[in-house]
Each structure stands twice: as structure tokens, then as C-alpha cells.
Amino acid sequence: MSVAGSTSRDSILKKLRNGLAGAQSVFRDKHDPDDAVSVPSAVTNAVGSREEIARAFGENLEAVLGSYEIVKHPSEVAVSIAARIVGWRAENDGVESYGRELLSWAPAELPIPDLGQQLAQQGIELFVPSALDNKDQRAHSASLNVGLTGIDAAFAGTGSMVLLPGPGKSRAASLLPLHHIALIPISRIYETFESWLAELRSRQTLEELFRDNAQVAFITGPSKSADIELNLTLGVHGPRDVHAIVFDDGE
């Protein structure tokens, strides 16, 4: 080894020794007294009234390239869905059939009663796959441009949503289409992921929820992918657009 190489090596080792000398142990000593049990703080947080929490959720969703709107009453949601589809249709050469049929959760699983009938009045039909192992259903699902789902929880601190797939709540509706519309009752928006878990614990349903749901989908904005030069592309592994419609469900 050259003198220069030896000097560099010694310098690096000296820095490591100095750093380790002042480092604290990763693990608490077994003889130390137990600290009070506390919930770890979230990396991001949101506080305020329900309306402020909803706005924070939307702003954080926009920050990760999603979009949102807040409506005052569930009766306005169908019109909002139709308006959003008209916008996407215009972006796709105005093809009349674009978004006329939605890949959807079952109407009973959507957070607004009779939404299917309300959308039918707007000229929009719902397709709910019952068996995606069926070749025809799978092909038809893949041909639809817009997906419609509810959510199980949303987090204002990150703009994230949780979906628990199950009967009538196909994962395909939030994964296959180019556009995903998520319907979000304001009562299901929590300040943070931790506050949602805390509520589940208080209800004694946390263990049951994760035991009964083998698949839990966390969605934070549209699908994103970047190459080695950091050129961002949307919609590679999932929807290109994620649009949240938040409404006051009165709960």
C-alpha cells in the first residue's frame, strides 16, 4: 500500500472511531427503568376542524400529483363524477364512449346510497366484476378507462388512502383503469395513520381488521415511475390520475 493510501485509510478509520466513541447504544440497557408507553409521533401531521382536515388531505394529495374537490352534500357527487369524466373525455379527443361505463365497487359498497341510479341519470353505467378469473370479465374490465371506489380510511397528513379489497370491492377498480375516482366521506379522514390505528384499537377491531383482510392497499396519488435521469412518468403501474371527491356524510 502506498503512503498516500495508508494515510487516507488511517484518516477514515480515525473518523469512524471518533464517531463511534460518542454514539449512543441502539438498544436500551436491560437495567434501565421502563419508560412510559407512548405512541410514536407521525412524520407528518394535520390538525384543525373537520373541514380543515379535509382541506389538508386534498392539498397533500395534490402535492403528490393527485387532485381533489370537496362538495357539501352527497347528492352533488354524481354530478361531480360526470363533470370529471367530461374533462377526461375532452383530453382524449372527445370520444363519446370514454367513461360511459365505470369499473366499480358494488353499489352497496360505495358510500352513497343509490349512487348507481344517480349516475345512470348522467348517462353513466357501473360494471362490477364478479369473477376476474373469467376471461370475458377480465377483458371487459381492462377495457374501461375510469375506476370508481370508496375508501376505508384517508390520512390528512400524507394525502393517502386505505382500501380493503373484498367481495364487491375489487382491487381492479383502483388499479386497472387510467383514471381512479375515490369517494371519501369526511368522517373517514383521519389526521394521521397513527390516529386511525388508535381508533381501531379503541374499538378493539384492529386485530380483526388485519386478520380478515389479507390485502390492504395504500394509495398515495397516481402511479409514478422515474428512469435513471429522474424523468417522471405517471400511470406506468396503475392509474395516471387519482381524483378524490370528499363529501360531508353528516357523521
Q: Any idea where the domains of the chain sit in the sequence?
A: 50-247
Q: Is the pLDDT of residue 94 over 80?
A: yes
Report residue 122 CA to chain centroid gap. 27
More confident residue, 25 or 134: 134
pLDDT at 1: 52
Q: Is the pLDDT of residue 24 over 90?
A: no
pLDDT at 4: 59
Strands (E), 33-144: 67-71, 101-104, 125-127
pLDDT at 9: 78
Summarised one tens digit per residue, pLDDT across range 108-160 is 999 999 999 999 999 999 999 988 889 999 999 999 999 999 999 999 999 99
Q: Is the pLDDT of residue 28 over 50?
A: no
What is the architecture of the domain spanning 50-247?
Answer: 3-Layer(aba) Sandwich (3.40)
pLDDT at 76: 96
Q: Is the pLDDT of residue 167 over 70?
A: yes
Q: Is the pLDDT of residue 25 over 70?
A: no
Residue 115 contacts by C-beta under 8 Å, 6 or more apart in sequence? Answer: 77, 78, 107, 183
pLDDT at 47: 74
Q: Is the pLDDT of residue 13 over 60?
A: yes
pLDDT at 33: 53
Summarised one tens digit per residue, pLDDT across range 213-229 is 878 899 999 988 876 77
pLDDT band per the 50, 70, 90 thresholds, residue 73: very high
Q: Is the pLDDT of residue 43 over 60?
A: no
pLDDT at 37: 44
pLDDT (mean) for 60-80: 95
Specify the pTM: 0.79
Check: CB of residue 56 under 8 Å from CB of residue 156: yes
User: Measured between alpha carbons, how far is 122 from 124 in angstroms, rounded to an integer?
Assistant: 6
Q: Is the pLDDT of residue 45 over 80?
A: no
Report residue 109 CA to chain centroid gap. 17
Q: Worst-scoring range by mean pLDDT, 14-28, 50-64, 168-182, 211-225?
A: 14-28
pLDDT band per the 50, 70, 90 thresholds, residue 26: very low
Check: CB of residue 177 under 8 Å from CB of residue 144: yes
